[in-house]
């Protein structure tokens, strides 16, 4: 099974709301990733967790906060977002985070910030 | 800084023709290169991964080559079908964290 699941599929939130995106995989992978994809653009990496260690894209604003409760689960906490944060948020995982391993992507959460 | 370019940006072919998609990257110090397919509004589906030590990978009608020294990869799709219509993205990994740098993609339409 090479499935990465993401919930919710769609999310609409106001700029003062707090919400969370969830990602889960049961492939035994030890690296998980959050990407942001704007319309007609390629995905851009936001965060990487590899063996519970976090690597951050320094251009990502602090209103995005990742959390990795265990090696199968990855959350993205959202707070005080801006309309320009509206995008498709993709989660991915790979085995042990080693360089030769394929990244498997979830279907994404489409976020709209009003 | 690594830059990944895909040409052409869009491609339309009649069913049955072979597809040739190009990807170039500026820094040859990569760990691997992946090709993905993305349908509108959906996530990415991994098609092929080529390790830096390999020159090609094949899966069914798909064949991908890698020339690391010249910074190029090509994805060949044989005998295209309407179901191959999608956006194809290439991405390179250049560090031990597996961080992917994507090209902008090639939008493919296969007409019946």
Mean pLDDT of chain A: 91
A41 touches chain B (CB under 8 A): yes
Taking the C-alpha atoms of residue A92 and residue B3, their distance in angstroms, rounded to an integer, is 21
* Partners of residue B98 in chain A, C-beta under 8 Å: 31, 33, 48, 50, 94, 97-99, 101, 103
Task: Specify the 3-state DSSP secondary structure of A85.
Answer: helix
| pLDDT above 60 for B46 | yes
Give the pLDDT confidence score for residue B14 in this predicted structure: 97
Which of B32, B34, B43 lies nearest to residue A90, judging by beta carbons?
B43
Distance from CA of A44 to the nearest CA of B (A): 8
CA-based nearest residue in chain B for residue A91: B43
The pLDDT score that the predictor gives to residue A100 is 59
Residue A47 and residue A35: Cα distance in Å, rounded?
Answer: 7
What does the angle CA A42 – CA A84 – CA A91 come to, to the nearest 5 degrees? 45
DSSP characters over B42-99: S-EEEEEEEETT-SEEEETTEEEEEETTTTEEEEEESS--GGG-EEEEEEEE-STT--
**Mean pLDDT value of segment B76-102:** 92
The pLDDT confidence band at residue B41, using thresholds 50, 70 and 90, is confident
For residues A93 and A104, the answer to whether their CB atoms sit within 8 Å is yes
The predicted structure's pLDDT at residue B68: 93
- Supply the pLDDT for residue B1: 85
Q: What average pLDDT score do residues A32-57 get? A: 91
With 90 as the cut, is the pLDDT of residue B37 above it?
Answer: yes
CA angle A16, B40, B18 (to 5 degrees): 155
pLDDT at residue B86, rounded to an integer: 97
Euclidean distance between CA atoms A21 and A79, whole angstroms: 11
Q: Cα separation of A85 and A60, whole Å?
A: 11
Q: Read off the tokens for B60.
A: 């069914």
pLDDT digits (tens, 9 = 90+) for A47-100: 999 888 898 889 999 999 999 998 899 999 999 999 999 999 999 999 865 555
Question: Could you say which DSSP state residue A106 is in?
Answer: -
pLDDT of residue A96: 65
The average pLDDT across B21-37 equals 95
Residue-wise burial string across B9-32, b where 16 or more C-beta atoms lie within 10 A, e elsewhere: eebebeeeeebebebbbeeeebbb
**Cβ-defined contact of A42 to B102 (cutoff 8 Å):** yes
């Amino acid at each position: 099974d090479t499935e990465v699941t993401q919930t919710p599929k769609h999310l609409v939130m106001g700029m003062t709301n707090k919400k969370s995106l969830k990602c889960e995989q049961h492939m035994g992978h030890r690296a998980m990733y959050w990407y942001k994809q704007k319309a007609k653009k390629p995905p851009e990496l936001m965060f990487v967790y590899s063996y519970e260690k976090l690597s951050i894209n320094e251009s990502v604003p602090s209103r995005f906060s990742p959390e990795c409760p265990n090696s199968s689960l990855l959350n993205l906490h959202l707070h005080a977002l801006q309309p320009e944060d509206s995008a498709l948020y993709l989660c991915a995982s790979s085995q042990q985070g080693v360089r030769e391993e394929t990244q498997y992507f979830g279907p994404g959460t489409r976020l709209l910030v009003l | 800084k690594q830059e990944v370019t895909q040409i052409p940006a869009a491609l339309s072919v009649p069913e049955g023709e072979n597809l040739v998609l190009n990807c170039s990257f500026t820094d040859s110090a990569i760990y691997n290169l992946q090709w993905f397919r993305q349908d509108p509004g959906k996530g990415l589906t991994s098609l092929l991964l080529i390790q830096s030590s390999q020159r090609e990978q094949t899966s069914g009608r798909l064949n991908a080559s890698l020339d690391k020294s010249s910074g190029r990869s090509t994805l060949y799709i044989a005998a295209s079908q309407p179901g191959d219509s999608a956006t194809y993205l290439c991405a390179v990994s250049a560090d031990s964290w597996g961080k992917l740098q994507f090209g902008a993609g090639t939008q493919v339409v296969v007409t019946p």
